[in-house]
Amino acid sequence: FSAERIRNFCIIAHVDHGKSTLADRLMEMTGAIRKGSAAQYLDKLQVERERGITVKAQTVSLVYRHRDQKNYLLNLIDTPGHVDFSYEVSRSLAACQGALLVVDAGQGIQAQTVANFHLASEQGLALVPLINKIDLPAAEPDKVAQQMADVLGIDTSQVVLTSAKTGKGMHKVLPAVVDQIPAPQGLPEGPLRMLLFDAFHDEYRGVICLVQLVDGRVTKGDRIVASSTGEDYEVQEVGILAPEPYPTGVLLCGQVGYVVPGIKSIKAVRVGDTLHHFKKPVDPLPGFRPAKAMVFAGLYPVDGEDFADLCKAVDKLTLNDASVVVKKENSEALGPGFRAGFLGMLHMEVFMQRLEQEYGANVVTTTPTVTYILDFGRGETQELERPSDYPLDKKVHGVLEPTVLATIICPSQYQGRVMGLCQERRGELMEQAVAGQDRTLLRYILPLSELATDLYSEMKARTQGYATFDYEEGEYRLADLQRLDILAHGKPVDALARLVSRSEVETLGRSILGKMKDMMERQQFDIILQASADGRVVARETIKAVRKNVLAKCYGGDVTRKRKLLDKQKEGKQKLKRLGSIEVPQELFPELMKAR
């Protein structure tokens, strides 16, 4: 295939608007997979199926015969479907010249539609607008087309109407891709320049890199170099994804496919990197930066004896995800564990869920925190990943915290509630606009740490699930924060320290202690809990010692009730986690995340 008969495109959509179903249909129509063989072929992991999000981007090459009776090679690049992966989304977009912009005919445009639209426009992609699910009784394609025109400036006459479920309108999709998306423009005879836009780990071949050939060609046996590191590799295999890896021996200018560089660790490759031939350097493609962890949390085995098993599980899981950074750490309060850094909240949740589901690990996770920058004055700064490392003996002039630029779309009737919530969470309103009939679009700068403490579910709760939310990375900004410590029997518990807004120190201190008091069991002695900020005690609680036997509550001879109580007690005991001088139930940790 010469470059003029190649199209590289992706599908961008809000979650559940039908991206995976559309991709399946396109693969069936072109014979890449058998009809009905696999629902949502591209979503491979169990968590992805469950949560309906794509975690790792997958790619497939389709051969399509156009109305000009010529075959076209269409490379469909499946972008990660979530904001946490926005850097990876933008790298995948960089491998494309166009995108299908899919909107649900019943739901209309949502926050993720708008955020992805902006990313795609910034990359200069040609957009093919598409309204899916026109079979739904609630479908209002005309109204949705008008929204797309009003909010995104789309020409309504260009909109393709489909039902990926019934197949209606599907025959119009690929012709629109060929007609409206430009062919990749590169130098077929120029020096090799390829974009590495994704990588995954294969048990047999090691790391598999997904690439787009911007200029030149790559052949099996070539020696290639990664621009960012200068490391060189011998290409052991090249091919296309159809959708399984299919060796072709060569990839030409404009094509999308994979190369196997013969390395074991995914940590050695960097998404967004430029690869070139040995001793033939090229100007690297723009926009490369190493993935940066934004949210950190401690992971500890519930039972300290399971630490070795946890190590193995974490090792395996990070084999396939270069964006998780893990360091072993020893907490005074929780014992041996890990400090793990994630791209965002969902990334962390997915990781935790996989750790439990796929590796049976039983872990507690401490309240996630973000990376702060401490300013000591005179140009001296320090990154702070662990609140308990916040210095108490050195004057901090200012604390800078990371922010996000959030896009929110909600029915106009909930606008007041959403704005109230964003204000409570220290948000700064950037834009307020109409998004179709009775709907409002809001753009806010919000502290990333507020996302780490349940902002999104609170927003859902206050809008009966109608608000949609998406964000891009923002800048660091100055914040008035203080270190809050929780003390058990007068001693600070390192794992519970956090940085909080000065005005919230007291309420938050009280709320955390309240939750601990509610969930902890009484002991033979009084348990004394305190919250302190900068050496000042802002809240205290005492959990009184048990005076009577638990069974004394069950007067009379109800044996089954007694047994139940004893069983319950035993069960409770098994899930206790030692936290410094006290023991707390495992369930306390997620509750603390929600403390306000």
Residue ranges that bind Mg ion, judged by CB under 5 A: 20
The response to whether 82 counts as a known ligand-binding position is yes
What gap in Å lies between CA 104 and CA 143, rounded to an integer?
A: 11
Tell me the two tokens of residue 509.
């201190």
Nearer to ligand GDP by C-beta: 27 or 266?
27
What gap in Å lies between CA 542 and CA 538, rounded to an integer?
A: 14
Amino acid residing at 137: P
Among 7, 19, 91, 386, binds ligand GDP (CB under 6 A): 19
Nearer to Mg ion by C-beta: 55 or 445?
55
Shortest distance (Å) from residue 15 CB to ligand GDP: 5
The response to whether 14 counts as a known ligand-binding position is yes
What gap in Å lies between CA 273 and CA 277, rounded to an integer?
A: 14
Beta pairing, strands 126-132 & 98-104: parallel
CA atoms within 13 A on the CB side of 345: 18
Closest CA to 298 of 589, 51, 517: 589
- Pick what 135 binds: ligand GDP, Mg ion, none; C-beta below 5 to 8 Å, kind-dependent: ligand GDP
The response to whether 15 counts as a known ligand-binding position is yes
Write each residue from 79 to 118 as x if it is in contact with ligand GDP (CB under 6 A), else as -, in one continuous string: ----------------------------------------
> Going by C-beta distance under 8 Å and a sequence separation of 6 or more, which residues neighbour residue 555?
none
- Pick what 17 binds: ligand GDP, Mg ion, none; C-beta below 5 to 8 Å, kind-dependent: ligand GDP
Contact in structure between 109 and 14 (CB atoms under 8 Å): yes
Question: Nearest to Mg ion by Cβ — which residue?
Answer: 20
Nearer to ligand GDP by C-beta: 53 or 422?
53
Shortest distance (Å) from residue 552 CB to ligand GDP: 54
214-228 burial, b at 16+ Cβ within 10 Å, e below that, comes to bbbbbebebebbbbb
Shortest distance (Å) from residue 52 CB to ligand GDP: 5
- Pick what 425 binds: ligand GDP, Mg ion, none; C-beta below 5 to 8 Å, kind-dependent: none
- Binding status of residue 51 toward ligand GDP by CB under 6 A: no
Write each residue from 123 to 162 as x if it is in contact with ligand GDP (CB under 6 A), else as -, in one continuous string: ---------xx-xx--------------------------
- Binding status of residue 58 toward ligand GDP by CB under 6 A: no
Closest CA to 439 of 154, 148, 134: 148
> Going by C-beta distance under 8 Å and a sequence separation of 6 or more, which residues neighbour residue 129?
101, 103, 145, 148, 154, 155, 158, 159, 160
Nearer to ligand GDP by C-beta: 129 or 580?
129
- Binding status of residue 276 toward ligand GDP by CB under 6 A: no
The response to whether 238 counts as a known ligand-binding position is no
DSSP reduced 3-state for 82: coil
Nearer to Mg ion by C-beta: 20 or 468?
20
Bridge-partner residues for 198, per DSSP? 210
Tell me the two tokens of residue 335.
């014992």
Q: Annotated binding site for GTP, which residues?
A: 13-20, 78-82, 132-135
Binding site for ligand GDP (CB under 6 A): 13, 15-21, 40, 52, 132-133, 135-136, 163-165
